[in-house]
Amino acid sequence: MMTQDPDRPPPPVRPSLSAVGAKLAGNSGIRVLMEDLGQALTTRADMLMLGGGNPAAVPEVQTLWRRRMRELLDGGSGFDRMLGNYDPPGGNPAFREAFAALLHRSFGWDVQAANVAVTNGTQTAAFFLFNLLGGRSRTADRRRLLLPLSPEYVGYADQVVEAGTFLSCRPLIDWPAGPSARRFKYCLDFEAIEQALRRGDVAAMALSRPTNPSGNVVTQAELNRLVDLAERFGAVLIVDNAYGSPFPGILFEDVHPVFAPHVVNLFSLSKLGLPGARTGIVVAAAPLVADVQAMTAVVGLANGNLGQQLVLPLVESGEILDLGPQRLRPFYLQRSRFAQEVMQREFDAAGLDWALHVSEGAFFHWLWLRGLRVPARELYERLKRRNVLIVPGECFFFGLEQDWPHRHECLRLNYAQEGGVIEQAVRIIAEEAAAASQ
């Protein structure tokens, strides 16, 4: 009989997982994306990073946050309270009051602190909301979550504990200047959306605006129509403004957010250059906000205080609304245009059958390779071997009831990198895409 060496640790044994555990610990698209991104950032200095959602280092904005940190450090006991005290689960009371007042001044919304909750990022907020509203009800009825436009943010895909909760609608594809211009735009297919709502099992609709991954901005008319449809069919409408209005304002279209008792707005500090602060903000009807606060208390007691305290004076003064139009939008618009020029040159030279979604916001270009003979996921692996990190399109088309060849032909590219990185990466993408299109 063999005995175990007392100096050797026993082999790791993974316990049997519950259904919820297996769901959350599985190989989700967002897990693979974040692991690839983290691995590249920490161990692959030569990787050309067009894959992640990290905001660019905008010097003016970095200077602002350094200044605010010094003010906190020099502010006496406030710094000690920020680090040494728990806030209530809903967030810092002064921050919630100031944020509600900002929305009332800016948009005329009838909101108070009771309509505002802070979360550990909008990813956490989406997890709370999706599981509050979607899945099996107490009467065992399945409550679905409808994505009015697919492709949609990969981070949503595995957030609902119960499988099969998402239902997605394919968009209509428009060519604003004709196909020869190589620019297309996704538009909401309201006939399909209404058909899905008539099923009677849709608890909520959700969309990002601007859309991650495509950079599409749902128009004001489209959003207003969604608000009306949600009310008509008794559904909640969740709008994720992580890149949008009123901040960070990485928008190239003139749009604004909308609020109603059945509308939930999500806001984030991440794309203001504060992803490490992990601060998301939920604005909704007070009963739903109370539910989010209760989930925060159960899952994490309270939220981090740093992000709220860093931006509080900017929220009180309204300066936070100027960061997008004055500092972030010009920076990202210039980089978007530069990347488009490089792609036009390199992809045309490679003889590719390609098109881009019109760049309306966020910091991604959505590339459609119509002659691709391998799935986008295979092209992703080939590019990774050549030190180029992108995100394959398949990750973003979840909830569709039928396959769609388009989902295998698209790539998401982060255009916020330095010009030299963009030029080198796009050249390699052109080479590999040409080889995969023959």
> Under CATH, what is the fold of the domain 86-320?
Aspartate Aminotransferase; domain 2 (3.40.640)
For 120-187, strand residue ranges (E) read 135-136, 142-147, 166-168, 172-174, 183-187
Please give the Cα distance from 264 to 209 (Å, whole number). 13
Residue range 200-228: mean pLDDT, rounded: 97
Dump pLDDT digits (tens) for 49-67. Answer: 999 888 999 999 999 999 9
Peptide bond into 210 cis (omega under 30): yes
Instruction: Say what the alpha-carbon torsion angle 224, 228, 234, 237 is, to the nearest 10 degrees.
Output: 0
- Residue-level pLDDT at 18: 78
Please give the Cα distance from 114 to 387 (Å, whole number). 48
From 242, 265, 273, 187, select the one nearest 361 (Cα to Cα).
242
Please give the Cα distance from 389 to 405 (Å, whole number). 22
Instruction: Say what the alpha-carbon torsion angle 210, 214, 218, 219 is, to the nearest 10 degrees.
Output: 100
- Residue-level pLDDT at 387: 95
Least confident range from 77-86, 184-193, 359-368: namely: 77-86
Please give the Cα distance from 436 to 432 (Å, whole number). 6
- Residue-level pLDDT at 25: 76
- Residue-level pLDDT at 137: 78
Residue 108 CB neighbour total at 10 angstroms = 9
Please answer whether residues 56 and 416 qualify as being in contact, where contact means their C-beta atoms are separated by less than 8 angstroms.
Answer: yes
Residue extent(s) of CATH 3.40.640.10 domains in the chain: 86-320
- Residue-level pLDDT at 40: 64
Please give the Cα distance from 434 to 376 (Å, whole number). 13
- Residue-level pLDDT at 26: 72
Give yes or no for residue 117 having a pLDDT over 80: yes
From 410, 415, 278, 419, select the one nearest 355 (Cα to Cα).
410
Please give the Cα distance from 243 to 249 (Å, whole number). 6
Using CA atoms, how far residue 374 sits from 63, 141, 228, 245, 413, in Å, is 45, 40, 41, 37, 18
Residue 305 CB neighbour total at 10 angstroms = 21
As a residue count, the chain comes to: 438
Q: What is the three-class DSSP state of 135?
A: strand
Give yes or no for residue 19 having a pLDDT over 90: no
Distance of CA 201 to the CA centre of its chain: 25
Percent of the chain with pLDDT over 90: 82
Q: Please give the helix or strand (H or E) that residue 8 lies within, else none.
A: none
pLDDT band of residue 208 (cuts 50, 70, 90) is very high
Dump pLDDT digits (tens) for 397-431. Answer: 999 989 999 999 999 999 999 999 999 999 999 99
Dump pLDDT digits (tens) for 345-362. Answer: 999 999 999 999 999 999
Dump pLDDT digits (tens) for 153-168. Answer: 999 998 998 888 999 9
- Residue-level pLDDT at 4: 58
- Residue-level pLDDT at 162: 87
- Residue-level pLDDT at 230: 98
Residue range 294-322: mean pLDDT, rounded: 96
pTM: 0.93
Q: For the chain, how far is it from start to end, CA to CA, in angstroms?
A: 61
Residue range 269-287: mean pLDDT, rounded: 96
pLDDT band of residue 128 (cuts 50, 70, 90) is very high
Please, what is the average pLDDT of the chain?
A: 93
- Residue-level pLDDT at 379: 97
Dump pLDDT digits (tens) for 61-115. Answer: 999 999 999 999 998 888 889 888 999 999 999 999 999 999 999 999 999 999 9
Q: What is the three-class DSSP state of 226?
A: helix
pLDDT band of residue 22 (cuts 50, 70, 90) is confident
Residue extent(s) of CATH 3.90.1150.10 domains in the chain: 26-61+325-435
- Residue-level pLDDT at 75: 84
CATH number for the segment(s) 26-61+325-435? 3.90.1150.10
Please give the Cα distance from 248 to 323 (Å, whole number). 7
